[in-house]
Amino acid sequence: MLRCELSPRFYETDGLGHINNTVIPKWFETARTPIFKIFNPELSLKQWNLILRKIDVEFVAQTYHEYPVEVRSWVSHIGRTSFTVSHELWQRGEMTATGTAVLVYFDYTAQQKGEIPASCRAELGSIGRD
């Protein structure tokens, strides 16, 4: 499992005093950085080889500005050309959101998906839920 601690910023709050619902998908994407590095160690946009197919977020409880958050992420499914990353957002011992992202191994020059390389598949397989 990957763990990413973040400090909510004041501008991420909304008029109701909690973290705006548009922020949490961004935090989930930030937590996927180690996974991006499996495919592209330099994170070079010229060599980018993943594309987002789908995301979903379920808001379980309110998340607040005053306290740090932890995003817990793991690879929950690996297919031939795509994989799914599952996320949980925790604050003060309470899970406040969950979500998933489906990423596709993608060739931007050919504009088509490709098979996930065996080396990447092996690394993805090591990121399970603890």
User: What is the tens place of the pLDDT at every residue in 11-39?
Assistant: 999 988 899 999 999 999 999 999 999 99
Q: Is residue 103 over pLDDT 90?
A: yes
Q: What CATH number labels 2-125? A: 3.10.129.10
Q: Write down the pLDDT at residue 130.
A: 83
33-87 pLDDT, tens digit per residue, is: 999 999 999 999 999 999 999 999 999 999 999 999 999 999 999 999 999 999 9
Q: Write down the pLDDT at residue 59.
A: 97
Which whole number is the average pLDDT over 85-112? 98
> Cβ distance 9 to 41 under 8 Å?
no
Q: Residue 85's CB: how many other CB atoms inside 10 A? A: 23
> What are the residues whose beta carbons fall under 8 Å from the beta carbon of 50, sequence distance 6 or more?
36, 39, 40, 103, 104, 105, 106
